[in-house]
């Protein structure tokens, strides 16, 4: 009776594993460490006092993953494993297709073979493409993805929909994450990007820790409250909790369900900068730069469906996320590399 967590040593995966262990789930992690470190497992143990079973396996490797299914009694899957860099996906689209779509196909094949009915999938707000309105509802049109990474998420959503049509017993939760930020309050786990961060919060914390001279604010002429881009930043611990809500929802045998996971509230780049300064009592140098290609003015979620149907509601706010991101970064200036 175990939950298989693919990509369970990654940023969102590790926080979800902590929530699962703290709620007495039996957890099996599969990860190939392409974007994470073994040290994560020690940190999970420090936080929870529990050691999930771990297999270093590439999820695109059917034969190796099958051995895990043979050994473990898997009842549910949370599928985080995937590559997520927009820039890398533009340079190497085939890698993203092979890894992200390939691993999902292998998992679905094994679900079928081993009669595993329940799966939660990490999708993204990126499937909405360039939104013509906010907040975004699950029923809004999807498609028009602006990069190969986003396209893999959309394609996997369609794979899952086709699988659900053919497998009436399957229960599938597609979770569309908005912008996860923050870290576990212990400061022991958090986001550990390779190289120069693409995303806003890890860039901010690297400026704060002195690794980068200033933040580049990409554009101040958007049609927003202060001209800078607006996003829906959700604390990663709230996001992790959303996966437990989804597992519970799947116990009701709903078939395929889709939920946005966000706060429903937009925050601009400068609002986040100022919240970070206030929460951590420091000044953050920034420079206004040209817009980043592909960015949109505003993006935030309509969150009432996740609340009504699975009782999901965020508990933490932007200040909590700023404080926790900084605690993680300041305690681990080089991430998991000591």
Instruction: For 269-337, list the strands marked E by DSSP.
Output: 286-289
Q: Which does 182 bind (CB under 5 to 8 A by kind): ligand UD1, ligand NAD, none?
A: none
Helix axes 148-166, 102-114, angle to 10 degrees: 20
Q: Where are the alpha helices (DSSP H) in 187-317?
A: 200-208, 236-251, 269-280, 304-310
Q: Which is nearer to ligand NAD, 157 or 320 (CB)?
A: 157
Q: Which stretch binds ligand UD1 (CB under 6 A): 2-10, 60-68, 132-140, 192-200?
A: 192-200
The verdict on 327 binding ligand UD1 (CB under 6 A) reads no
Among 34, 87, 130, 282, binds ligand NAD (CB under 6 A): 34
Separation CA 237–CA 324 (nearest Å) = 10
Q: Which is nearer to ligand UD1, 13 or 52 (CB)?
A: 13
CB 126 within 8 A of CB 180: no
Q: DSSP per residue over 106-139, as a string?
A: HHHHHHHHHT--EEEEEEEGGGG-S-SSSSBPTT
Among 80, 96, 222, 328, binds ligand NAD (CB under 6 A): 80
Is-catalytic flag, 149? yes
Q: Give how many residues touch ligand UD1 by CB under 6 A.
A: 20
Q: Which stretch binds ligand NAD (CB under 6 A): 44-52, 78-86, 217-225, 252-260?
A: 78-86
Strands 26-31 and 2-6: parallel
The verdict on 52 binding ligand NAD (CB under 6 A) reads no
CB 150 within 8 A of CB 86: yes
Q: Which does 266 bind (CB under 5 to 8 A by kind): ligand NAD, ligand UD1, none?
A: none
Q: What angle do CA 280, 286, 289 make, to 5 degrees?
A: 145
The verdict on 55 binding ligand NAD (CB under 6 A) reads no
The verdict on 33 binding ligand NAD (CB under 6 A) reads yes
Q: Which does 297 bind (CB under 5 to 8 A by kind): ligand UD1, ligand NAD, none?
A: none
What is the chain's length? 338
Among 43, 84, 231, 243, binds ligand NAD (CB under 6 A): 84
Separation CA 269–CA 206 (nearest Å) = 16
The verdict on 84 binding ligand UD1 (CB under 6 A) reads yes
Residue 209: Cβ-neighbour burial (10 angstroms; 0-12, 13-18, 19+): middle
Q: Which of residues 197-216 bind ligand UD1 (CB under 6 A)?
A: 198-200, 203, 215-216
Separation CA 42–CA 181 (nearest Å) = 22
Separation CA 175–CA 134 (nearest Å) = 18
Q: Which stretch binds ligand UD1 (CB under 6 A): 13-21, 42-50, 185-193, 289-297?
A: 289-297
Q: Which is nearer to ligand NAD, 227 or 335 (CB)?
A: 335
CA gyration radius, the chain:
19
The verdict on 88 binding ligand NAD (CB under 6 A) reads no
The verdict on 150 binding ligand NAD (CB under 6 A) reads no
Catalytic one among 11, 55, 96, 149? 149
Q: Which is nearer to ligand NAD, 103 or 325 (CB)?
A: 103
What own/partner pairs with CB < 8 Å and gap ≥ 24 does 135-144 have? 135/264, 135/300, 135/301, 135/302, 135/303, 136/260, 136/299, 136/300, 136/301, 136/302, 137/260, 137/302, 137/305, 138/176, 138/258, 138/259, 138/260, 138/302, 138/305
The verdict on 258 binding ligand NAD (CB under 6 A) reads no
The verdict on 218 binding ligand UD1 (CB under 6 A) reads yes
Among 100, 124, 152, 260, binds ligand UD1 (CB under 6 A): 124
Q: State the catalytic residues.
A: 149
Residue numbers of the site for ligand UD1 (CB under 6 A)? 84, 86, 124, 126, 150, 179, 198-200, 203, 215-218, 229, 231, 269, 292, 294-295
């Amino acid at each position: 009776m175990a939950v298989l967590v693919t990509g369970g040593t990654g940023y969102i995966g590790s926080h979800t594993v902590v929530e699962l262990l703290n709620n007495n789930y039996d957890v099996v992690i599969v990860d190939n460490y392409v974007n994470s470190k073994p040290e994560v497992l020690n940190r999970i143990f420090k936080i929870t006092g529990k050691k999930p079973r771990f297999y270093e396996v590439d999820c695109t490797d059917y034969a190796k993953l099958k051995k895990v299914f043979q050994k473990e009694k898997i009842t549910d899957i949370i599928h985080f494993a995937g590559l997520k860099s927009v820039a890398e996906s533009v340079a190497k689209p085939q890698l993203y297709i092979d890894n992200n779509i390939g691993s999902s196909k292998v998992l679905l094949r094994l679900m079928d073979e081993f009669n595993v009915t329940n799966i939660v999938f990490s999708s993204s707000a990126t499937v909405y493409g360039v939104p013509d309105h906010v907040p975004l509802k699950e029923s809004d049109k999807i498609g028009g993805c602006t990069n190969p990474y986003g396209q893999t998420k959309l394609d996997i959503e369609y794979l899952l929909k086709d699988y659900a049509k053919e497998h009436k017993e399957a229960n599938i939760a597609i979770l569309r994450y908005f912008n996860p930020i923050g870290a576990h309050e212990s400061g022991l786990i958090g986001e550990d990007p390779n190289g120069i961060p693409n995303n806003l919060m890890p860039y901010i914390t690297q400026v704060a820790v002195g690794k980068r001279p200033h933040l580049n604010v990409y554009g101040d002429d958007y049609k927003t409250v202060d001209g800078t881009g607006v996003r829906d930043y959700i604390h990663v611990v709230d996001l992790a909790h959303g996966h437990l809500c989804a597992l519970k929802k799947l116990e009701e045998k709903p078939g395929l369900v889709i939920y946005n996971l966000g706060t429903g509230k937009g925050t601009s780049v400068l609002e986040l900068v100022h919240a970070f300064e206030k929460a951590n009592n420091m000044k953050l140098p920034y420079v206004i730069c040209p817009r980043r290609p592909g960015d949109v003015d505003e993006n935030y979620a309509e969150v009432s469906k996740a609340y009504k149907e699975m009782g999901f509601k965020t508990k933490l706010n932007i200040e909590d996320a700023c404080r926790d991101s900084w605690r993680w970064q300041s305690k681990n200036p080089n991430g998991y590399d000591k």
